[in-house]
């Protein structure tokens, strides 16, 4: 699976979770109903995260298999490979942080516009 696809999925899930939480909070429901809906959304997010973890484990197993296949690598080649993996992980962390921040800002902006629209429509 490509990294860009993973980032897109994570960004989408983060945006969806934030949007769902804002939507639930702005919905005209009782506190009990709101809590139940939030618990349901949290469970859905947990299930999605578990699916992603399972997929990551599968990808890790594939990568681990490739490492086993290249067991003839020299110590220096292994060190270079490990260094490369750490650099990629850092890059991934930075890009995920940026994607989540951008998604959160987008959802917050949409929520503000919706709230303004509702306020102006109520007047």
Structure confidence by residue, pLDDT tens digits, 54-80:
888 888 888 777 766 666 667 788 788
Residue 87 CA, chain-centre distance (Å), reads 20
Of residues 2 and 83, the one with the higher pLDDT is 83
The confidence score (pLDDT) of residue 93 equals: 84
Q: What size, in residues, is the chain?
A: 123
Of residues 51 and 7, the one with the higher pLDDT is 51
CB 122 within 8 A of CB 37: no
Rounded CA separation 29/87 (Å): 47
pLDDT band (50, 70, 90) for residue 50: confident
Q: List the domain range (segments joined by +) for residue 11.
A: 3-122
Rounded CA separation 37/33 (Å): 6
- Structurally, how many domains does the chain consist of? 1
Q: What are the DSSP calls for 55-118, one per residue?
A: HHHHHHHHHHHHHHHTTT--HHHHHHHHHHHHHHHHHHHHHHHHHHHHHHHHHHHHHHHHHHHH
Q: What is the pLDDT of residues 79-91, one digit of tens each?
A: 888 888 888 888 8
pLDDT band (50, 70, 90) for residue 4: low
Rounded CA separation 25/121 (Å): 19
The pTM is what?
0.34
């Amino acid at each position: 699976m490509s990294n860009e696809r993973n980032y897109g999925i994570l960004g989408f899930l983060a945006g969806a979770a934030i949007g769902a939480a804002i939507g639930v909070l702005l919905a005209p429901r009782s506190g009990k109903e709101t809590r139940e809906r939030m618990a349901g959304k949290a469970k859905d997010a947990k299930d999605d995260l578990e699916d992603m973890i399972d997929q990551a484990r599968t990808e890790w197993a594939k990568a681990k298999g490739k490492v086993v296949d290249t067991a003839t690598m020299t110590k220096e080649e292994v060190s270079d490979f490990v260094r490369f993996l750490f650099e990629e992980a850092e890059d991934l962390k930075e890009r995920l942080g940026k994607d989540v921040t951008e998604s959160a800002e987008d959802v917050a902006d949409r929520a503000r516009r919706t709230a303004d629209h509702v306020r102006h429509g109520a007047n």
